[in-house]
Structure 1
Amino acid sequence: MELHSLNPETILMQAADKAHLNASGGGSIGGPITYEKIPTHIYADAKDASEAVAQEIAALIRQKQAEGKPCVLGLATGSSPKTVYAKLIRMHREEGLSFQNVISFNLDEYYPMEPDSIHSYHRFMKEQLFDHVDIRPENYFLPDGTISVEQIQEFCREYERKIQEAGGLDFQLLGIGGNGHVGFNEPGTLINARTRLITLDHSTRAATAMEFGGLAQVPRKAITLGVAPILNARRIVLLAWGERKAPVIRGAVEGPVTEHNPASYLQAHPNVTFVLDERAASELTRVKTPWAVDSVTWDNGMIKKAVTHLSLTLKKPILKLTDKDYNDNGMSDLLAKYGAGYEINIDVFNQLQHTITGWPGGKPNADDSNRPERAQPAQKRVIIFSPHPDDDIISMGGTFQRLVDQGHDVHVAYQTSGNIAVADDEALRFIDFVVDFNQHFQTRNDHVTKIFREAKEFLKHKNDSEIDTPEVRHVKGLIRRGEAKATCRFVGVPMDQVHFLDLPFYETGTVQKKPVGEEDIRIVADLIAKVQPHQIYAAGDFADPHGTHKVCWDAIENALDRLKNEAYMDQCWVWLYRGAWAEWDIHEIQMAVPMSPDQVLKKRMGIFKHQSQKDGVVFQGEDSREFWQRAEERNQGTAKLYDALGLAEYEAMEAFVRWHFK
């Protein structure tokens, strides 16, 4: 049977089954789920999920072509659909997928907004899709962010009329905001809302502040397709990646239909599917507590997950859980298989206890059979990969300090310059210092002076549609490089063991980055080959497939794959840390490094070396706290979880998961 003759659910289910990606641990992804009111497919990562969605869209386009009809697509912007568009571009180039019969309507646009602005959704769609396929320019439509306020109401009516004239939306692609918005239909929107100008919710503006260089620069309004015309689409697929979307996904899929979560309105649609990665699905009942939904395979990982969840839910230490607690909470089959709950309690408690170590590089001359790291060699060569110039100290500063203090040969590799995270006024302050310094001491370096003067002149006249010039990016990169050096000096790392990789994928001057390339991989592989490490630490934040952390990891993973047959790689263990926003789930943690109050304070002082990232930084997101505050709360939260489970009480803990070579 040809792909284009399959129905949408079949395409998504086949893709999921092929990848063996049922997060519930048993049964078919497409099978009946008691708690879910919307069909939901869960994939291991956004790449596989996006491939399945792109295949469905391609099948629909081809089906419509065979019927001699136009294919009317509703398209979304943001990071979620970018990989879908990349897959469609690949199919156009390699498989001859034509977009000649496609008519598209985008969901929304900021208002006011010039179409050539780097923040414009017009520009986004051209760069991410339209300029790379053969869609006719007269066949794609987007809300106009340049019209007068008086024209908006008529424009919105006309926009919906054009959709109807095209035959209605055959397929609507959606993302979802952290507050549940679809399009820009914010909480409080009614189910019958039409296309209109709306005021953006503060959380929506805060979440996009990183793209605009600060909250003050984010538009307060947008034009959005309404809920009613979205629900009129014949087919709807919603994408969501990462744990930050997990709570709102659970509300939309399992909760009541409510204006407080506009995505919940999709429960009323007869042909809708949510496509999620495992992190976005993590709060769904079948993922969080799969034993409450169906029978599960009680392997060690599932037991650890269930027992820790039971302990935290009942607010009882693990060693105080009883057989009745197991039976009353859907875990009687676990008792039936393994016997008394007390034996299970002891086993899980010991596993958690063995994750705790004050010796992240291994404790010399010690029995390491119950420790997360090897005792030998006593002095290890270590590479800490930091995607940005501050992720090392923010995410694992306590462990970083321990490794240095305990005599390990620690190298730090800053993978990107981090230049886009420096505010313009911070760059101007730095430029003024250099220029004034040269004038005061009557130094002569015409080339340097020229670079700084040109950067300053650009920043004085920079407009919304312009990206930073190479000179400005150089200045901002120098600021962050200096801060990283200050942190390394503070921790005690020699400067010849501090490596600034400046991976090329990052140097676009915008939030949108290139995919990882051959040069990126080579740079990482060369450093690993030079150091021949016993330990590698890397950022494990993979929620956004286009985020810097994920692309940096892609470079590391590819480099490791190339080097895995080298003799020294047999001794290399890879540990993944998480960023300032979220931590590994307690049952996932394989190494937990405790910190005393003094160590927490020292980590804070290390973070303070990054002055350009304090006091309302560019990438604050919807969390207004500074990075040191987020990091401390996360580390203290991990320690409190261990305490609640009945283990030793510490001030804070940093957590790691070991990654294994394929």
Structure 2
Amino acid sequence: MLRNYPLSDVEKAFQKESGQINNSTLIPYLMVDNFPKLGLITACRFLEWVSYNPQGVISLPTGKTPEYFIKWTKFLLDNWDNKKGKDVREKYGLDKVSKPVLKDLTFVQIDEFYPISSSQNNSFYHYVNKFYLEGFGLSKENAILINSNEIPLSGGKNFKEVFPDLKVDLSLRFREPITTEEKIQQESIYLIDKWCGDYEQKIRDKGGIGFFLGGIGPDGHIAFNTRGSHIFSTTRLTETNFETQAVAAGDLGGIEVSANRLVITIGLETITYNPDSVAIVIAAGEAKAQIVKESLETPLDNIYPATSLQKLKNGRFYLTKGAATKLTDSIDAYYQQGEWTWEKTERAVIDLCKKLKKYGHRLKVEDLKNDKYASLIPDLSDDTVSKVMESMVEKLNRGTAKEQDEVLLHTGPHHDDISLGILPHITNQLQENSNEAHFSVLTSGFTAVTNSFVIDTLLHTKKLLDSGEIQMVHYEDFFESGYKLKTDKDVYHFLTNVASENLSQRLRGLCHRVIRAIVTIFEVQNKQKLRETINDIISILRNSYDGEKNPPKIQKLKGMIREFEEELVWAHFGVQVKNVHHLRLGFYTGDIFTEQPDKKRDVEPILEMFRKVRPTKLSLTLDPEGSGPDTHYKVLQATAEAVRQWSQEEDLSKLRILGYRNVWFKFEPHEANVIVPVSLGDMSVMEDSFSNCYLSQVNASFPSYSHNGKFSTVAKRIWVNQLQDIQLLLGKNYFYLHETAKVRSSHGLIFFKDMNVEEFLAHARELEKSIEGFL
């Protein structure tokens, strides 16, 4: 039964554009086309609310989630009365309200790490001051904020004195302290708890939060109310779970830090205390689809924190299409609206196999007729399932076909994306000598290298210099030109010592490359200056807080370490350094919000690479809604624009584009048109190359929220799960009795989408629309 939810004018306008606002779930949701549009609707709804509540209480999110919300809010405020602003306001229901005045609002900070200095750029206190209080012109006097430096502790001490290792042991709430230090810590924890209670009371004295906006974590957390948080929870100091720690690792400089940091967060009851509150959760990308489904279709439950919004008549989810794909009514709409496609038939049959846990050859026509979705397949017959099986076999045949005389250009946003996405497919291609292979990582990737890794590497470099084991620095021309030479030799030396399992010589190879990078970046002229520069870098990093943005030259050094790692991976297969292209696109800056791709700065280098390499096959990560890191989304924007421009210069009718996904999100079988078998040998190659070459990533300082370890393990699990889906359709004996050894040895599968240029640009057309105002 549908409940009658009130809609604002903005929501009505977006409903008219998208054709729906859905009340069939326990919390209504509104769906938009893409990630930037999600920011637009949220900004419009926020400004609409503020225009009616100029002295209201608001609570807005931190992190990367609100990027487009912040940009669109500022755009509308700056352009309210000019044509650009009026056009947007008229289209989206803001034409009936006067320009909002934000200065008298009360801002409530949602959460904060504890302990963390408020002066650090990666503290949420700094974030809300920069982007909301200063950025939106809000009142600092009215704001209710979480400043770790000002929370009273025992004896008036600073948190660094009370918790010298920045770890807070919450068991002291319930046990006797053993040492004097623990007694001070216990007293301090009780004082923090009192402060949290006072913080909660300040919010309630204001009548509660009137407008709340938040994202949703992989475990379903809202604010830092992680899975299992009480529906009636209030502001508190608490621990987090692994999924939340993994997401926070990027902010804090690694899982090593975030795993030991507590948080102060408002509670679920804090969010819903005001019964008239407008509380909105935003989610983008298919990676969020499962938790969105559970949050919207599950009755009030502490396992799914966002279900607490069911208590509010103005509780909402604003979603991209991808984030809504697993909702029951989205699936209904997928099957029932528009013409029936073969993709729908494939999905219905494969999902039915999984639902009934039946192999494809055991499905009967009656099974299909009795299923909600399979029953919609036109001309259902005894051949329906067998045709779907034949279609999957054809996809497998494409994945095992031998490719010849191709110029291959494999691209990725980060330095392990290509390997984690399609390495077994690439190894098949590289076994054919007539193929020419190129690899390009489009960003520097420096944020994935921890300070501690660089410090340890530089200390080892100094040790080798002291013992005379870095001989190249003694050559007369080294600091003039020699440092640029023999980069392939560095790679070969490193991999030879991988083969011989000589760890010390392997590290020596890394140190060789690091010295070349330092000489290049810092324009070092002699051995003495080299030592001084190394010492300076170590000093800067040791005096940096975890997660602090590095100076540009150290960013570049970290990036060049990652570039060396990438060269090592492809050298496994004989690919020379000159065929590994490092683009270092300029939008990637290490800031909380990286810039939008720029036509000149970011698109032209990709276009120039296309002109130079002239690929016949181009691979890229296909992540149009930002399911993974925002770098994926922005790299795809720039690449799509470069392909579009290149298509205006050249006849690209024969160019094939391979869209792949990796650990952040995966294709479903019906979405892919190529399936590549993966053997245990393939998995070993990927695992070994990852462990031996991506040295900065082996300790998994920035892990996936789905696994506390290396990304290579996550990739293998995905490949195995994908095999299980197809085995359920085709039967296990299809694989182990197959006529070809490649299929018989399958213990995993890779899915990807093979497109021509027209298909790719059509797929990316929403991207083109979303970036028109930015490129």
Give the equivalent residue in structure 2 for 1:370: none
Q: Distance in 2 between matches of 1:151 and 1:432?
A: 42
Q: Distance in 1 between matches of 2:23 and 2:201?
A: 38
Q: Is the 2:399–2:674 Cα contact (8 Å) retained in structure 1?
A: no
Q: How does 1:186-197 map to 2 (within 5 A)?
A: 186-197=226-237
The answer to whether residue 139 in structure 2 is matched with residue 140 in structure 1 is no
Shift of 1:387: 1.2
Shift of 1:382: 2.0
Q: Is the 2:415–2:445 Cα contact (8 Å) retained in structure 1?
A: yes
Shift of 1:499: 0.4
Q: How does 1:235-274 map to 2 (within 5 A)?
A: 235-274=278-317
Residue of 441, 448, 453 corresponding to 1:421: 448
Inter-CA distance 359–408: structure 2 relative to 1 (3 Å threshold): farther
Q: Distance in 1 between matches of 2:657 and 2:723?
A: 23
Q: Distance in 2 between matches of 1:346 and 1:198?
A: 54
Superposed CA RMSD = 2.8
* Stretches of 4+ aligned residues off by more than 6 angstroms: none
Give the equivalent residue in structure 2 for 1:474: 556
Q: Is the 2:58–2:212 Cα contact (8 Å) retained in structure 1?
A: yes
Q: Matched residues, percent identical?
A: 21
Give the equivalent residue in structure 1 for 2:678: 595
The answer to whether residue 98 in structure 2 is matched with residue 14 in structure 1 is no
| Letter matched to residue 498 of structure 1 | V
Shift of 1:17: 4.4
Residue of 99, 103, 108 corresponding to 1:105: 108
Residue of 210, 214, 226 corresponding to 2:254: 214
| Letter matched to residue 686 of structure 2 | K
Q: Distance in 1 between matches of 2:428 and 2:672?
A: 19
Residue of 318, 326, 346 corresponding to 1:275: 318
Q: Distance in 2 between matches of 1:601 and 1:216?
A: 27
Q: How does 1:135-534 map to 2 (within 5 A)?
A: 135-146=138-149, 147-148=151-152, 149=188, 150-164=190-204, 166=206, 168-218=208-258, 219-233=260-274, 234-288=277-331, 290=333, 297-331=339-373, 333-334=375-376, 338-357=378-397, 363=402, 378-406=404-432, 407-439=434-466, 440=468, 441=471, 443=474, 444-464=526-546, 466-508=548-590, 512-518=593-599, 519-534=601-616
DSSP-derived class of the 1:431 partner: helix
**Greater displacement, 451-460 / 88-97:** 88-97
Specify every segment of 5 or more residues in structure 2 that has no aligned partner in the other structure, as ranges: 82-98, 153-187, 475-525, 736-745, 763-775
Inter-CA distance 538–271: structure 2 relative to 1 (3 Å threshold): same
Q: Is the 2:287–2:627 Cα contact (8 Å) retained in structure 1?
A: no
| Letter matched to residue 219 of structure 2 | N
DSSP-derived class of the 2:750 partner: strand
Q: Is the 2:253–2:546 Cα contact (8 Å) retained in structure 1?
A: no
Provide, for residues 98-156 of structure 1, a one-character-per-residue CA deviation record: whole Å limited to 9, x for no partner: 53343321211122221122321122223444433333333433223221345434543
| Letter matched to residue 525 of structure 1 | L
Q: Is the 2:345–2:374 Cα contact (8 Å) retained in structure 1?
A: no
- TM-score using structure 2 length: 0.75
DSSP-derived class of the 1:265 partner: helix
Inter-CA distance 202–604: structure 2 relative to 1 (3 Å threshold): closer
Shift of 1:464: 4.1
DSSP-derived class of the 1:594 partner: strand
| Letter matched to residue 298 of structure 1 | W
Q: Is the 1:117–1:464 Cα contact (8 Å) retained in structure 2?
A: no
Give the equivalent residue in structure 1 for 2:730: 646
| Structure exhibiting the larger radius of gyration computed from Cα positions | 2
DSSP-derived class of the 2:79 partner: helix
Provide, for residues 83-106 of structure 1, a one-character-per-residue CA deviation record: whole Å limited to 9, x for no partner: 211211222223366533433212
Q: Distance in 2 between matches of 1:497 and 1:94?
A: 47
Number of residue pairs the alignment of both structures matches: 625
Provide, for residues 240-285 of structure 1, a one-character-per-residue CA deviation record: whole Å limited to 9, x for no partner: 2234433332222111212222211211211111112233323322
Q: Distance in 1 between matches of 2:243 and 2:679?
A: 34
Q: Distance in 2 between matches of 1:465 and 1:455?
A: 16
Give the equivalent residue in structure 2 for 1:660: 760
Provide, for residues 197-227 of structure 1, a one-character-per-residue CA deviation record: whole Å limited to 9, x for no partner: 2222343223322332222312532222222
- TM-score using structure 1 length: 0.87
Give the equivalent residue in structure 1 for 2:173: none
Q: Is the 1:394–1:627 Cα contact (8 Å) retained in structure 2?
A: yes
Residue of 620, 637, 640 corresponding to 1:538: 620
Specify every segment of 5 or more residues in structure 1 that has no aligned partner in the other structure, as ranges: 1-5, 21-27, 365-377
Give the equivalent residue in structure 2 for 1:45: 34
Residue of 585, 598, 613 corresponding to 2:668: 585
The answer to whether residue 630 in structure 2 is matched with residue 547 in structure 1 is yes
Shift of 1:543: 3.2
Inter-CA distance 155–549: structure 2 relative to 1 (3 Å threshold): same
Q: Distance in 1 between matches of 2:420 and 2:287?
A: 19
Shift of 1:296: 6.8
Shift of 1:8: 4.6
Shift of 1:231: 0.6
Q: Is the 1:188–1:260 Cα contact (8 Å) retained in structure 2?
A: yes
Q: Is the 2:663–2:704 Cα contact (8 Å) retained in structure 1?
A: no
